[in-house]
Chains A and B, each alone.
Chain A
Amino acid sequence: MRTTKWLVPTLYIIFLMLPIYWLLSMSFKSTNEILGGFTLWPREFTLANYAEIFTDSVWYNGYINSIIYVSLNTVISVLAALPAAYAFSRYRFLGDKHLFFWLLTNRMAPPAVFALPFLQLYSAVGLFDTHVAVALAHTLFNIPLAVWILEGFMSSIPKELDETAYVDGYPFWRFFIRIFLPTIAAGIGVAAFFCFMFSWVELLLAKTLTSVAAKPIAATMTRTASSSGYELGLLAAAGSLTLIPGAIVIYFVRNYIARGFALGRV
């Protein structure tokens, strides 16, 4: 048993990596080679697909747009969730449990249900096709998640910390920012990671709420389908590039993830 234990995770990781390998390998092939037949690795190694993405403003603007609204969403979600999570973890107040469940129900709302009303709502307030619109729309499912995670982290901090600070004469906000936030830095990291992740991977709402100026990269990728058939090489290169931000973020928070889950309610 002991000696073969590593086999399960190893096989699983190989299973996970195969499609990713295939995507990367295609991104270095020309579309002709991809369509020409099955090749396990690129026969004529080419960087042309990447060159096209980095020189065409429509392509690289897609990445910039995505990163702008994802970052904005992460900041808004975490900032709004921090005081709320503190309230849930420290106080009992009128309707607190119902409010908590109501927040969670929004995590359950299928985006397909909301796509059309969102379009009308954000057009009505004049935010259609802006980064702010997508960032705000994504708070629908990210704020509940951030509150949930942060509440778990905060509840693991003993209340004596707050009380000692008040005895020492700290006003609430000074205590909150100077003492409390640094104590739960790991939790903030985990919450930010999940907000980043869910905003980065979501497409339906992001696509519905934008047309040109704030179009996300994931929506730009549909371009390859319409022009001159499927440009698979280009599509694969664009897809490969979308892996990078996620990989960077997960590398930074890798040590907090397991701890975050264990402490938090998630």
Chain B
Amino acid sequence: MNKTVNNRAWFLVIPVVVLVAFNALIPLMTVVNYSVQETFGDNTFFWSGVTWFEKVLRDDRFHGALGRQLFFTGTILLIEVPLGVAIALTMPKKGPWVSVCLVLMALPLLIPWNVVGSMWNIMALPDIGLLGYTLNALGFDYNYTRQPVSAWMTLITMDVWHWTSLVVLLAYAGLVSIPEAYYQAAKIDGARPWAVFRYIQLPKMKRVLTIAILLRFMDSFMIYTEPSVLTGGGPGNSTTLLSIDLVKTALGQFDLGPAAATSLVYFLIVLLVSWVFYTLMMRNEES
């Protein structure tokens, strides 16, 4: 659509800018403020420059948390995106079952995050939980409070359970927007299912899938409540993701300087990746 140039449109944007600026800029400045100062806890602060940043960037603990975070985000993206697309492709396109599928699938998205955490926490208990008991009865040695591998598997299963539906909904929305004529043309040409997927369905889903990946990347990178309720970062530090590590430093030990520096590094990583995605997405849209 060709848009009119009109700078008075700023007036329409003011309420949003004011609200978001109040919530974003002031806290962000507070974080920046802490990140460059040293304090001994008596409300006196000293300028410390970039010491905290140097310290954080060299810190093994930060590297560990970042590594685990990248592993987590990578794994869930690799599972959720193909799985979500596969489910969207096989879902009914019309009829009463569409509503049933949509409502049931969206249900996990609407459960408060700490409830999700506690649900899985209890369900995975090896002695009395449905999942833990079944796995052990089948002969698997499974105990997520003691074995890091079990904890990771539980964590990833929980996230797949919680968020795959978002990918399904987005991919499904992309699919239903394909006109029936495309499929008929493909049929006349004698296209195989794979060709239909590769040349009709996938290109049409490209935009929604980019958004799905972007949203899942951002949200999984800042995940806090579910893993902190499920495993609390344990056993040991094996499932301590970035947010959990951060909250431990900031609220547990009250090391505001390092916590603030970590926050900013963390935020910048998310920002950078998202910016690359966003630019690619917009370029695709314009071409």
Contacts and interface: CB of A to CB of B under 8 A. Distances in A.
Q: Which 5 A-B pairs have the closest CB atoms?
A: A246-B110, A261-B173, A110-B222, A117-B27, A91-B9
Interface string A79-90: 111011011111
Contacts of A259: 173
A249 B103 contact: no
Interface stretch (B37-45, B55-63, B270-278): B270-278
A120 B30 CA distance: 9
Given A6-B90, A121-B27, A254 B6 contact: no
Given A118-B27, A143-B20, A13 B120 contact: no
Given A105-B271, A258-B176, A246 B211 contact: no
B114 A92 contact: no
Interface in B240-287: 242-243, 246-247, 250-251, 256, 259, 263, 266-267, 270-271, 274-275, 278
Nearest to B117: A203
A84 B12 contact: yes
Given A76-B19, A90-B3, 5 more contacts: A22-B122, A83-B13, A110-B222, A143-B16, A258-B98
Interface in B70-121: 83, 86-87, 90-92, 98-99, 101-115, 118-120
Interface of A: 1, 5-9, 12-13, 15-20, 22-23, 26, 34-38, 40, 76, 79-81, 83-84, 86-94, 96, 99, 101, 103-118, 120-121, 136-137, 139-140, 143-144, 147, 155, 159, 197, 200-204, 217-218, 221-222, 232, 235-236, 239, 242-243, 245-247, 249-251, 254-255, 257-262, 265-266
Given A1-B193, A203-B112, A250-B103, A106 B176 contact: no
Contacts of A217: 112
A15 B6 contact: no
A16 B247 contact: no
Nearest to A266: B211
